[in-house]
Structure 1
Amino acid sequence: MRLITLALAALLLLIQYPLWLGKGGWLRVADLEAQVEAAQRKNAELQSRNAKLDSEVRDLKDGTGAVEERARYELSMIKQNEIYVQILGKGQTQPQAATPSPTKP
């Protein structure tokens, strides 16, 4: 009787092994589901980034407003007959004015 119980317990363990640790086991499925969720999060982030870049490209192609804004803020360009005022915060020093290069005769 004891031998039959041990044999049935061993058989039960052999049957459970593929369920938990096999190729299609629960642990593997849980791991794959976590990977799919991480990939979906990454895709959502990339889609929002792509939408932002697409919007920016459309603005640059269609109008001059976006180009002008970039020129003003990134390159510090100003229009003709415009006055540029820079307000310095505490601890900032006044930038050196650019000196014109001498022209060759």
Structure 2
Amino acid sequence: MKIVTYVLIGILVLLQYPLWFGSGGVLAVWRLNREIAAQQQENVQLTDRNQALEADVADLKQGLQAIEERARMELGMVKKGETFYQVIEEPRAKPTSTKKNLP
């Protein structure tokens, strides 16, 4: 009776191995689900970026305000008749340490 029990347990283990560790097993499915979740998150980020780029393209095609804003911010351009003021801050002096060196 003991031998039959051991044989049945051995067969059960052999049948369970592909279920857990095979190419379509539980561990493989779990890993694929994690990869799918990561890919979906990346797709959401890329979709948001694409929508922002599409909005920029539409702004550039529609009017001059977006072009003017980019020229001002990226190229430092000013309109005719405008006065440009550049404020330069002086570097702050570093505070001196009040600690005394003790021997």
TM-score range, shorter chain: 0.7 to 0.9
The 3-state SS of whatever aligns with 1:30 is helix
Segments of 5+ residues of structure 2 without an aligned counterpart are: 93-103
Segments of 5+ residues of structure 1 without an aligned counterpart are: 93-105
Deviation per CA, 1:49-70, whole angstroms, max 9, x where unpaired? 0000000000000000000000
**What is the alpha-carbon distance in structure 1 between the residues aligned to residue 16 and residue 25 of structure 2?**
9
* 1:19 matches 2:23: no
Identity %: 43
Aligned equivalent of 2:66: 66
Tell me the CA shift for residue 90 of structure 1: 4.1
Letter in 2 for 1:59: D
Taking structure 1 as the reference length, the TM-score comes to 0.83
Letter in 1 for 2:32: L
**What is the alpha-carbon distance in structure 1 between the residues aligned to residue 59 and residue 78 of structure 2?**
20
**What is the alpha-carbon distance in structure 2 between the residues aligned to residue 89 and residue 15 of structure 1?**
76
Letter in 2 for 1:6: Y
Written as runs of structure 1 = structure 2, the 5 A alignment for 1:44-83 is: 44-83=44-83
81-90 or 54-63: bigger deviation = 81-90
15-24 or 52-61: bigger deviation = 15-24
Once superposed, what is the RMSD of the aligned Cα atoms? Answer: 1.3
Aligned equivalent of 2:6: 6
Tell me the CA shift for residue 11 of structure 1: 0.7
**What is the number of residues matched between the two proteins?**
92
